[in-house]
Every structure is written in structure tokens, then in C-alpha cells.
Amino acid sequence: MTKVNKKYKDRLFRLVFGDRRRLLDLYNALNGSHYEDPDALEITTLDDAVYLSMKNDLSFLVNGVLNLYEHQSTYNPNMPVRGFFYLADVYRKYVVEYKLNLYGSRLAKLPSPKYLVFYNGRKEEPDRKVLRLSDAFQGGRNAEPCLELCAVMLNINLGHNQELMERCRTLKEYAQFVDRVRRMIVETGALESAVDRAVEDCIRDGILENFLSSHRAEVLDVILTDYNEQEYIAMEREEAWEEGRAEGLSVSREAILDLLGEHGEVPEELRARICAESDKETLKRWTKLAAKAESLEVFASKYDS
């Protein structure tokens, strides 16, 4: 059983994987299975969720796995809490549907939960990250809470989780498309034309070619419907600028420390002060000073003046 939340920024993700064949490829890539018949994939829509399971899958029925999938375009450390509430609701319905007796002497068997979060936000995150419910508890895991839930966050931005991407071509091309849309928005400053150009370029380059050719209007509608154009453009540009700014500041700090390192080991206090500086002009001044300084002492006596 697999659940995909129906919330943007998952609408585009769900639109792409709404096709049974593409969905089956993703299912296989994530589960290490080799199903070939897309008609064997059961899709049941209930409220804001889509449940997926395999018909006549004996190992699935015996081993019973409940897969909860969510898509996030921003990093959210509260996913385990959300997953806890959702899974509690799913299990409640499962008990009713299968008429399990929770008051008897026999153990009621439940499907094992597997909670995956597909992340493609701008904030840099590792390929795989485990978010734990216990991190939200006051006292943390040291308090030995009686409850735990783990959300495995998979970074599906371009360049991440390459083995998974190679197993699922559609997922890889989805990442490529999202990356192109983002870059076009920053370049053009116009959301609609940016999406149009990204679609044209991807079709030309064979990226989600069939999907984009037949769903072009829907893709544009999904993105334009869910975003205020000016706010979205401003957000993308600001995030791109912040990324570039952060990278530039990091390079400046490293350059200063490298220059000072030629005169010996940089004192920890001075190193911390340099690493904490976020003003571009100050770092520029310090770089020039470090290049001219004859010793660490000379730099230390002048950098804060």
C-alpha cells in the first residue's frame, strides 16, 4: 500500500507519475522489485490520498508493507509528526476494514510502515536523511520516549541519488525538468515564459518528451495555479542570490584563512571571527589585508580597526 499526498508542491510530481507505467517504474526503483504489468498496480483514491498496491502479490500480502510517500519543495523537520498523524489515521481505517480484533488474545497483524519524503527544495540537503519523531520531543531521544517514527528524506534534485535516478528514468527527467524551470525563471524573470521555454527545451532534448508534449497545458496550469507569479519569481531569484551569496562568502573566508595560514596556524578565536563574518565588503577588506600582512599578529592588530 502506497500513499501519495495530493498537495502541491506535489501536484506536478503526481501529474508526472499519474501514468501507470511511470508509476510502476518508480515503485520498482524504490522497492527493488521487477513488476512488468502496469495493470497489476492498484490505485485507490480516498480524500486527498492515492493508495498503491500490487494485485496478487503474495510476498506483499505476507510481508505487508505500508508505503507513505510525500513530496516537499521546502525542508520541513516536522514531517515525522505529520507522518505520525497520518499513519495513525491509516491504521485506524485498516483495523476497521479488515475487522481486526484489538481486544482479543491473538496479536493483530498490521502492515509495516515505510515513510519516504521526496525532497527537491533549494536548500542543500544530503541524498538521504532520516528525520525522527523523537527529535521533536522535549528532552529528545535521551528521555527514552515510548514512541518513534522515522521519515526517510530522499533528495531528488538533479545530481542527487544518482543510483535511484538511473533505476527510474522518469524520476531523473523530472529532476532535470524542475532544474530547467528554476534556471529559466531566474534568467527570464517571467514565470509563464520560463515554463514554456523549459518545456520546449526538454521536449527538444528528449526529457519527459512524451509527457510534456501531451500535457503541456496541464503543466503550465499546475505551476501558474499554485503560485502567485511575482511572489514566485521573487522567491526563486532571492534563493538563487542567497545561494550565490553564501557560496561567495564561503570562498572569501577560505581565501583569507589560506593567506593567513601561510604565516602559521590561525588562532581559533581569529578563525571563528572570520568564519562568522557575513558582510561582503568587510571580507573583501580582510582579504586585501591578509594578502599584505607580514604576520598573523599584524593582521590581528588591524582587521578590526
pLDDT at 285: 84
* Distance of alpha carbon 220 from alpha carbon 193, whole angstroms: 10
3-state helix, strand, coil in the chain (%, to 5): 55, 15, 30
Of the listed ranges 16-30, 150-164, 204-218, the least confidently predicted one is 16-30
pLDDT at 198: 92
Beta bridge partner(s), residue 153: 117, 129
* Distance of alpha carbon 71 from alpha carbon 118, whole angstroms: 5
Q: Is the pLDDT of residue 22 over 80?
A: yes
Q: What is the chain's Cα-based Rg? A: 25
Q: What is the DSSP string of 151-217?
A: EEEEE-STTSSHHHHHH-HHHHHHHHHHHHHHHHHHHHS-HHHHHHHHHHHHHHTTSSHHHHHHHHH
Q: Which residues of 232-259 are buried (b: 16+ CB within 10 A; e: fewer)?
A: bbeebeeebeeeeeeeebeebbeebeeb
* Distance of alpha carbon 172 from alpha carbon 121, whole angstroms: 15
Residue closest to 70 by CA, chosen among 112, 29, 115, 30: 115
Helix (H) or strand (E) holding 26: helix 20-31
* Distance of alpha carbon 64 from alpha carbon 44, whole angstroms: 17
Q: What is the SS3 assignment for 4?
A: strand
CB of 90 within 8 A of CB of 164? Answer: no
pLDDT at 59: 32
* Distance of alpha carbon 175 from alpha carbon 120, whole angstroms: 8
pLDDT in tens, 41-51: 655 444 444 44
* Distance of alpha carbon 284 from alpha carbon 155, whole angstroms: 34
Per-residue pLDDT band at 274 (split at 50, 70, 90): confident
* Distance of alpha carbon 63 from alpha carbon 236, whole angstroms: 43
Per-residue pLDDT band at 234 (split at 50, 70, 90): low
pLDDT at 244: 59
This model's pTM is above 0.95: no
- The sign of the dihedral angle between the CA atoms of 199, 165, 6, 181 is negative
pLDDT at 6: 37
Q: Is the pLDDT of residue 149 over 90?
A: yes
* Distance of alpha carbon 93 from alpha carbon 268, whole angstroms: 57
CB of 175 within 8 A of CB of 157? Answer: yes
pLDDT at 173: 97
Q: How far is CA 5 from CA 16, 67, 90, in A?
A: 14, 12, 13
Q: Is the pLDDT of residue 4 over 80?
A: no
Q: Is the pLDDT of residue 8 over 50?
A: no
CB of 270 within 8 A of CB of 237? Answer: no
Question: CA torsion, points 21, 26, 29, 35, in degrees to nearest 10?
Answer: -30
Domain spans, the chain: 2-167, 171-227, 239-302
Kindly state the average pLDDT of the residues 277-290: 82
